Amino acid sequence: MTASRSQATGFSFELFPPKTDKGIEKLRDTVTRLNERSPAFFSVTYGAGGSTQTNTFATVDWIREQGIAAAPHLSCIGSTRDEITEILQRYADQGIDRIVALRGDLPSGAGAGSMGDLNYANELVALIRERFDARFHVEVAAYPEMHPQAANFDKDLENFKRKVDAGADSAITQYFYNPDAYERFLEACSRRDITIPIVPGIMPITNYSNLVRFSDACGAEIPRWLRKRMEAYGDNIDSIRALGRDVVTKLCERLLAIGAPGLHFYTMNQTEPTLAIWDALGLSDIG
């Protein structure tokens, strides 16, 4: 294998913190099986406010206990600078060396008073550098198809550059199914002298209606041809999965061919859809 290939570059897996005992069991099985592919790290998402934060800590703790590299996500919206510093200190004490730094989104219904001290992710990156210097490798989010709240592509890119200028080391993109969007984004970054590695986020396709709902919320586009083909399969989950595996494998091949420095899989805590793509790409056979 291969460990060399996945660890040296940006091949990683994303998890969300489970809430139930069954979910915890499933996550542990997923991590154990995916870790056989020697990823660079497992990242764990983080929600603004409430119990999901504790679940993130518990998930990160367990991954670390297995001797596996964990990269917690940390969102800043709704928190004070001191609260964020406390969490970062906890991670530093644990030996965590990579953070995915995000603004996050306030839960619907939250008032303006719940914004906290930091408004945008670039301010979080600056805080990490100010208080922890180079202690963490800082990943930030990138949006080849534009963040849904951005005024336009150029403004969004300007704001992406703020995160890089504040000290981000690398970026992971929102998922997308049109490789041209990634290529254009890399070209636009290059024109602005943004040189950090930008790893594409890859969402395996397992369920049509969930994917549509999720994509509408986060601004990821599902190309018309892909929607139509999935729609034609109706409730035939096996056919949708087979189509998804082919489409996403081809997408990854193209992304690697045009220079993607790795792939970050949104596993949704499922093993098979990600493994099927990983193995179809032959990532474990490349020395």
Catalytic positions: 14
Number of residues that bind ligand FAD (CB under 6 A): 26
Q: Out of 138, 172, 181, 202, which residue is the one contacting ligand FAD (CB under 6 A)?
A: 172
Q: Out of 24, 26, 47, 270, which residue is the one contacting ligand FAD (CB under 6 A)?
A: 47
Quote the Cα angle for 62-263-183, to 5°: 150
x-or-dash pattern for ligand FAD, window 23-42, by CB under 6 A?
--------------------
Three-state DSSP at 156 gives helix
Query: How near is the Cβ of 142 to ligand FAD at its closest, in Å?
Result: 7
x-or-dash pattern for ligand FAD, window 95-134, by CB under 6 A?
-----x-xxxx--------------xxx------------
Q: Out of 162, 184, 227, 250, which residue is the one contacting ligand FAD (CB under 6 A)?
A: 162
Q: Does 17 bind ligand FAD (CB under 6 A)?
A: no
Q: Does 46 bind ligand FAD (CB under 6 A)?
A: yes
Query: How many other β-carbons are positioned within 10 Å of the β-carbon of residue 158?
Result: 13
- Classify the phi-psi angles of 116: left when phi > 0, otherwise alpha if psi is within -120 to 50, otherwise beta: left
Q: Does 156 bind ligand FAD (CB under 6 A)?
A: yes
Tokens at 12, concatenated: 């990683």
Q: Out of 75, 170, 215, 274, which residue is the one contacting ligand FAD (CB under 6 A)?
A: 75
DSSP states along 202-264:
E-----HHHHHHHHHHHTPPPPHHHHHHHHHHTT-HHHHHHHHHHHHHHHHHHHHHTT--EEE
Cα 206 from Cα 236, distance rounded (Å): 11
**Contact between residue 240 and residue 230 where contact means Cβ atoms under 8 Å apart:** yes
Q: Does 174 bind ligand FAD (CB under 6 A)?
A: yes
| Window contacting ligand FAD (CB under 6 A); options: 25-33, 147-155, 240-248, 249-257 | 147-155
Interhelix angle 51-65/81-94, nearest 10 degrees: 20
Binding site for ligand FAD (CB under 6 A): 45-48, 73, 75, 100, 102-105, 120-122, 141, 147, 149-150, 155-156, 159, 162-163, 172, 174, 201
